[in-house]
Amino acid sequence: MTAPADTLFEEVLAAASASAHDGEGGEVYERRGAALELVEDEHSLHASVSTERGFAVRLFRSGRTSFAASGAASARSLPAEARLLLSRSRSRRGARPAPAVAGAAPPEFLAPPVRPDEVAARGLLVAFRRALAAASDGAVLLGEAALTLGARTERVATTGGRDVSFGSASATLVATVSARTGAGRASARVVAAAARPEELGLARLAHHAVDRVLLPLKGRPLDPGRWDLLLDPLVAASIVARLAPAFFGEEEDGFLAARTRDGRDALAAPALTLVDDASAPGGPARTTHDAEGTLQGRTVVLERGRLATRLTDVAAAQRLGTGATGNAFRRAFSEPPAIGVTNFFADPSSGVPPLDLLRSLARGFYAAVLLSRPQVDLAADRFRLHAAGYWVEKGRATEAVSETLLSGRLSELLRGIEAVGDDLKFIPAAGGGAGSPTLFVPKWKG
């Protein structure tokens, strides 16, 4: 709605820089977004289109920080509002405006994002409905499918000389599916997220949806015991997602310190390498800069089971005495940045085809889907998964398993991983994505 070359950002930045001579630093952030959501059920189609333009200001003085955010209409008053709050903040080491990014030319203006393609979106919904029908032979009904396509452009400038702009896009499909058999009824929501609509993996989501509602309605429950364990990538990814906060530079590192004797021991088996990579193929995030404007790259946090480094924003990097890894994350323009993940995943580069892993199961359980929210407590070193899948003998699935509980010490599970697959898949997690290939844990007792 606003002319692209308006000077609002510069005005806010000038106001945020007004007290720079008194040792005050400032950061101005602008986000422009466009989103399209199509929600389709048996009877109706709902379309939502929205645009947003929001500003946020952070001020820094002697380790104190304050934050103010609003839409464009009130943006000019943000520096004054933040300045009034600054004196009430508590000082913390490392809080300061981000420095200039080498080689980055200041953007002339922040272009509004390209609006998502509605025709393509409708085509995706049709394609998913067909994929679900094909995957289930009509046994699974689609209650509702919601497809959201988003695009945004962002700009960050600081009194430290940083001034960068960047853009990104996202696609999310959420489907509510249900099934009725002689054994009962079940419904579930399944989600796929990608950086581009064409990367959503509709056929894979359809198969996952079918397993999620049909497996609990057939087969038998499996009692805990000692057997080989094979975790489907989407099941394993849910554990990887819960591990991520342990590697945030902001967090207390009690879990890592306790489980690795302050880094002397390995946290996991050598088969496991954990990586955060904003440009990982197939990942839901595909960005060039983080929410503070830091360039992003590939960060290995766990190398062959051993702690390598932490994920940081500017302040955490300052405290740790390292370079920022580009992991500042804003859920919305109205929230201050915090450390988060982009695409956080178990590296499949040393992996083998998942069928080879399946063949190596002498007698075990293949966990295909989660039936409820995974429970992972880093401090207590415990996990519990409520899963359904297949009983496998001599590398062949012999029986469906309607439900079982997998639980135990998280550190034992991580150290028990003997091999990983080469089939990396992602789930949405905390603004980015968490991913894993198939994981093989022999002789798990749970």
Q: Which residues contribute to the site for other proteins (CB under 8 A)?
A: 1, 35, 39, 41-54, 64-74, 77, 80-82, 84-85, 88-90, 92, 143-144, 146, 174, 176, 178, 184-189, 252, 254, 334-336, 372-373, 375, 377-380, 382, 384, 405, 407
Closest CA to 346 of 274, 267, 413: 274
Report in angstroms how near the CB of residue 255 gets to other proteins at its nearest: 9
Q: Which is nearer to other proteins, 140 or 424 (CB)?
A: 140
Report in angstroms how near the CB of residue 428 gets to other proteins at its nearest: 10
Q: Which is nearer to other proteins, 320 or 352 (CB)?
A: 320
| Burial class of residue 241 (count of CB atoms within 10 Å of its CB; 0-12, 13-18, 19+) | buried
End-to-end CA distance of the chain: give it in Å, rounded.
58
H helix intervals, 19-87: 78-86
Q: Which is nearer to other proteins, 416 or 446 (CB)?
A: 446
Q: Which is nearer to other proteins, 68 or 124 (CB)?
A: 68
Helix (H) / strand (E) containing 338? strand 338-339
CA 15 to CA 250: how far, in whole Å?
30
Q: Which is nearer to other proteins, 199 or 253 (CB)?
A: 253
Q: Which is nearer to other proteins, 183 or 362 (CB)?
A: 183
HEC assignment per residue over 87-106: CCCCCCCCCCCCECCCCCCC
Report in angstroms how near the CB of residue 140 gets to other proteins at its nearest: 12
Q: Which is nearer to other proteins, 144 or 199 (CB)?
A: 144
Q: What is the total residue count of the chain?
A: 446
Report in angstroms how near the CB of residue 259 gets to other proteins at its nearest: 13
Closest CA to 299 of 233, 348, 247: 247
CA 267 to CA 381: how far, in whole Å?
12
CA 383 to CA 403: how far, in whole Å?
16
Taken in order 225, 229, 234, 239, is the CA torsion positive or negative?
A: positive
Report in angstroms how near the CB of residue 346 gets to other proteins at its nearest: 22
Q: Tokens 């996991």 belong to which residue? A: 268
DSSP string, 150-187: EEEEEEEEETTB-EEEEEEEEEEEEEEEEEEETTEEEE
Report in angstroms how near the CB of residue 219 gets to other proteins at its nearest: 16
Report in angstroms how near the CB of residue 153 gets to other proteins at its nearest: 15
Report in angstroms how near the CB of residue 178 gets to other proteins at its nearest: 5
Q: Which is nearer to other proteins, 80 or 362 (CB)?
A: 80
